[in-house]
Structure 1
Amino acid sequence: MQRFGTLSFGHYGPLGGGRELTAGDSLKQAIDLAQGMDDLGVNGTYFRVHHFARQQASPMPLLSAIAARTERIEVGTGVIDMRYENPLYLAEEAAALDLISDGRLALGVSRGSPETVVRGYEAFGYAGSMDSRGADLAREHFELFLRAIDGETLAERDAHSPFGGGTGGQRVEPHSPGLRSRIWWGAGNSDSATWAGTVGVNLMSSTLLTEASGQPFDELQAQQIATFRQAWRAAGHEGVPRTSISRSIFPITTAEEQMYFGGRQDGDQIGVIDGIRSTFGKTYAAAPDVLVEQLLQDEALRSADTLMLTIPSQLGVEFNLRVVESFAKYVAPALGWVSTRG
């Protein structure tokens, strides 16, 4: 494990007891937490994107604010739902953010997760999908997005423009060289991972897979990573692609952490998501020395270069920073991690 960071779902709303976490609170706390993690030398802060829900929905302003307030930490998404995106506008935003952050963007995209509404992307103006889950629409948008960030000319200049249009083709601006190497595809199964490797983007694998063969989750995920790397090599891409996995991991060092997570240690689960039998990864919650022993046996963690810790963002900056600091101090070094602060 070369890198680790946090993956936040960005939930906000009522907390019980008359308390409420507002959307503004959630955004500002995410910035404060990222600053604290940057000081610790943590490698990344990543956000899930959900529309029509009390969660993060517009990551670019948030990531830009974090990039402006930090020095080293990678800023990213895990993942943006491409069904909802204008590919060229997203390419402009991604390039601008990559330039602002000096290449610290890790933009994860995919078809997205199950929604709280029916075909919500159609309300955003993107209709015509022939797939019940909109997968064809997501791939179509993604392919145009890649063409844009690669600098392909996508419009003809107007020779009569008073602003110096000239002749020939025009790419979208701004353009950030090398951005393609910082794009990730969130794959839920081996077929999607193979596609990502063939296309030539990095791989994000979550805490669930839309596969249920009876194998342990970490073994399934390790096979997915191997399939991805094989497809990358077969396609003739240069360099070594990055791979990330997500895990729910809680080092228990205080009575408060024991109260919240002491009973959360469980095994893999089989369930149904989007009508597909799926495997859900287990939660790790134990004393740091126990976690080290358990995580050293996690096949996917041994295969991936980046670990994303899912965090309970509703519990606030101080609590989450303590969880991250405990992982960085007591667990991560035993897994091969070295702080960006040296």
Structure 2
Amino acid sequence: MQRFGTLSFGHYGPIGAGRELSAADSLLQAIELAEGMDELGVNGAYFRVHHFARQQASPMPLLAAIAARTSRIEVGTGVIDLRYENPLYLAEEAAAVDLISGGRLALGVSRGSPESVVRGYEAFGYTGSTDPRGADLARAKFSRFLDAIDGVGLAEADPSSPLGGGEGRQRIEPHSPGLRSRVWWGAGNRDTAEWAGRVGVNLMSSTLLTEDRGMPFDELQAEQIAAFRASWREAGHAGEPRVSVSRSVFPITTAEDELYFGGRDGRDQVGVIDGIRSTFGKTYADAPDRLVEQLLQDAAVQSADTLMLTIPSQLGVEFNLRIVRAFAEHVAPALGWRPNRER
């Protein structure tokens, strides 16, 4: 494990005992937490994106704010739902954030997670999908997005324009060289992982896999990662792609930790989501030395270079920073991690 960061769902709303976390609270606390993690040398702050829900839905302003307030930490998404996106506008926004951050954007995109509404992307004006989950829209938009960030000319210049339109086909602006190497595809099964390898983008292996073959989640995920890397090599892409996995990992070091996380089941779960039988990874909650033993036995964690810790962001900055610090000090070094001190 070379890198680790946090994956936040950005929940807000009622949090119990008559308290409520507002959207503003959620955003501002995310910035403050990222600043604290940057000082610790944590590698990344990543955010889930959900529409029609009390969670992060428009991540680019948040990522830009974090990038402007930090100097080392990677800022990213896990993942943006392409069904809802204009691919060229997304390319402009992504390039701007990448430039503001000095090349620290890790842009995770995909078809997106299961929704709380029915075909919500159609309310955004994106219709015509023949797939019940809109996967065809996402793939088509991804191709267009990659062309845009690669600098392909997409619109013919108007030589008579008073704005100096130039000649030939023009690329979108701004353009951020190298952004393509920082794009990830969120894959929920082996087929999509192999497809990402052929396309030549990094892999974010999902928190759930739309497969159930009677195998432990980590072994199933490790197979997916191996298939992705094999597909990358067979396609002839240069270099080594990055691979991330996410886990719920809670070092129990205080009575409060025990209160929140003690007694967890600690087993994989199988259920039906989006009409597909799927496998969900287990939660790790234990003393730090026991966590080290368990994570060293997790085949997918050992296969990936980046571990994203899902955090209970609604519990506040102080609580989450303590979880992250405990992992950084007592667990991560035994997995091969070293703090990021490069600015």
Q: Percent of counterpart pairs with the same letter?
A: 79
1:62 is aligned to 62
Q: Quick check: 1:265–1:285 contact (8 Å CA) kept in 2?
A: no
| Residue 165 of structure 1 pairs with residue 165 of structure 2 | yes
**Unaligned stretches of 5+ residues in structure 1:** none
1:278 is aligned to 278
Task: Give the secondary-structure state (helix, strand or coil) at the position aligned to 1:148.
Answer: helix
Amino acid at match of 2:50: H
Amino acid at match of 2:286: A
How far is the alpha carbon of 1:341 from its aligned partner?
Answer: 2.7
How far is the alpha carbon of 1:207 from its aligned partner?
Answer: 1.8
| Residue 313 of structure 1 pairs with residue 301 of structure 2 | no
Q: C-alpha deviations, 1:11-66, integer Å up to 9, x for none?
A: 00011222100000000000000000000000000000000000000100000000
Amino acid at match of 2:224: Q
How far is the alpha carbon of 1:218 from its aligned partner?
Answer: 0.3
2:102 is aligned to 102
CA distance in 2, matches of 1:341, 1:147: 34
CA distance in 1, matches of 2:308, 2:109: 15
2:25 is aligned to 25
Q: C-alpha deviations, 1:191-238, integer Å up to 9, x for none?
A: 000000000000001221000000000000000000000000011100
2:90 is aligned to 90
CA distance in 1, matches of 2:335, 2:269: 25
2:53 is aligned to 53
CA distance in 2, matches of 1:254, 1:18: 25
CA distance in 2, matches of 1:26, 1:53: 13
1:206-217 equivalences in 2 (<5 Å): 206-217=206-217
CA distance in 2, matches of 1:14, 1:164: 52
CA distance in 2, matches of 1:112, 1:255: 37
Task: Give the secondary-structure state (helix, strand or coil) at the position aligned to 2:278.
Answer: strand
CA distance in 2, matches of 1:46, 1:167: 39
Structure 1 runs of 4+ aligned residues shifted over 2 Å read: none
2:190 is aligned to 190
Task: Give the secondary-structure state (helix, strand or coil) at the position aligned to 1:79.
Answer: strand
1:8 is aligned to 8
**Unaligned stretches of 5+ residues in structure 2:** none
Aligned residue pairs: how many? 342
Q: Quick check: 1:202–1:243 contact (8 Å CA) kept in 2?
A: yes
Task: Give the secondary-structure state (helix, strand or coil) at the position aligned to 2:331.
Answer: helix
2:226 is aligned to 226
Amino acid at match of 2:232: W
CA distance in 1, matches of 2:207, 2:52: 22
CA distance in 2, matches of 1:166, 1:30: 42
**TM-score, normalization by structure 1:** 0.99
CA distance in 2, matches of 1:293, 1:317: 28
Mean Cα displacement is larger for which, 326-335 or 162-171?
A: 162-171
Task: Give the secondary-structure state (helix, strand or coil) at the position aligned to 1:226.
Answer: helix
Task: Give the secondary-structure state (helix, strand or coil) at the position aligned to 2:131.
Answer: coil
How far is the alpha carbon of 1:92 from its aligned partner?
Answer: 0.3
| Residue 292 of structure 1 pairs with residue 292 of structure 2 | yes
Task: Give the secondary-structure state (helix, strand or coil) at the position aligned to 1:142.
Answer: helix
How far is the alpha carbon of 1:266 from its aligned partner?
Answer: 1.7
Amino acid at match of 1:194: E
Q: C-alpha deviations, 1:58-100, integer Å up to 9, x for none?
A: 1000000000000100000000000000000000000000000
CA distance in 1, matches of 2:18, 2:319: 20
2:150 is aligned to 150
Amino acid at match of 2:315: L
CA distance in 2, matches of 1:24, 1:264: 31
Q: Quick check: 1:75–1:106 contact (8 Å CA) kept in 2?
A: yes
How far is the alpha carbon of 1:265 from its aligned partner?
Answer: 4.0
Task: Give the secondary-structure state (helix, strand or coil) at the position aligned to 1:113.
Answer: coil
CA distance in 1, matches of 2:146, 2:289: 43
CA distance in 1, matches of 2:79, 2:69: 22
Q: Quick check: 1:265–1:286 contact (8 Å CA) kept in 2?
A: no
1:329 is aligned to 329
Amino acid at match of 2:292: V
Task: Give the secondary-structure state (helix, strand or coil) at the position aligned to 1:248.
Answer: strand
CA distance in 2, matches of 1:132, 1:55: 24
RMSD in angstroms over aligned alpha carbons? 0.7
CA distance in 1, matches of 2:261, 2:341: 29
1:240 is aligned to 240
1:130 is aligned to 130
Task: Give the secondary-structure state (helix, strand or coil) at the position aligned to 1:278.
Answer: strand
Task: Give the secondary-structure state (helix, strand or coil) at the position aligned to 2:214.
Answer: coil
CA distance in 2, matches of 1:71, 1:124: 35
Amino acid at match of 1:197: G
